[in-house]
Amino acid sequence: MYQLHIADDHPLFRDALLGIISTHFSGASVSQSSDLESTLAALESLPDLDILLLDLHMPGSQDLFGLVTVRERFSSVPVVVVSARDDLETISRSIGHGASAYIPKSASPAMIHEAIDAVASGERWVPEKARNGLRRIDDEEMSLGSKIASLTPQQYRVLCYLREGWLNKQIGYELGVTEATVKAHITAIFKKLGVSNRTQAVIALSKLSLEDMPN
């Protein structure tokens, strides 16, 4: 019996995936989460998980952070990325960072079933239009992905606020922590990313960003 987990913050899409799984994978056990932190907690409690269906842009998981974090911490779990984006670059980078499949949210139920079935059989799946155009992720980006994945969810939030140009006081207020705690997070971020200032940290994050890419 398959054990799957759906990580997506859109209830209607979770229900759609659940319906497809129920129809085509009789007896499958399915759990759900709606943000990255609860997803990571679920993965800790599901040692026999067969497939994770992961939304790229649920809360706590901007850009590729959710994917690289899951792949770094739970490398044995096959990840099927689900996303509203269907451009070749996003698909290439998702597969390059360890996803076993990439399903655009515009995909038909038949395509979604095909993708999940392929991964359950140990195969890789991407939309037909992407099958001959996937690009290889270079070593620099792979190394950066591992460094970003070493951040805690709270450190990643702080880094995202740094990208927005927020001051330590503003970040502390938003997170409900002291400025000293924010400074400690920033120091840890610099160490993990191998940088020495905010500008370098933001540049590092931007290299893993999907925000400037076409939808």
At 214 the pLDDT is 38
* pLDDT tens track for 8-39: 999 999 999 999 999 999 899 999 999 999 99
Q: List, in order of start, the domains of the chain with CATH numbers.
A: 3-130 (3.40.50.2300), 151-206 (1.10.10.10)
pLDDT surpassing 50 at residue 213:
no
Smallest CA-to-CA distance from 67 within 42, 96, 87, 89 is with 96
Residue 84 near residue 105 (C-beta atoms within 8 A):
yes
Q: Distance (Å, rounded) from C-alpha 161 to C-alpha 177?
A: 14
**Arithmetic mean of pLDDT, 132-149:** 90
* pLDDT tens track for 65-121: 999 999 999 999 999 999 999 999 999 999 999 999 999 999 999 999 999 999 999
Confidence of residue 7 (pLDDT cuts 50, 70, 90): very high
Angle between helices 168-175 and 179-193 (to 10 degrees): 110
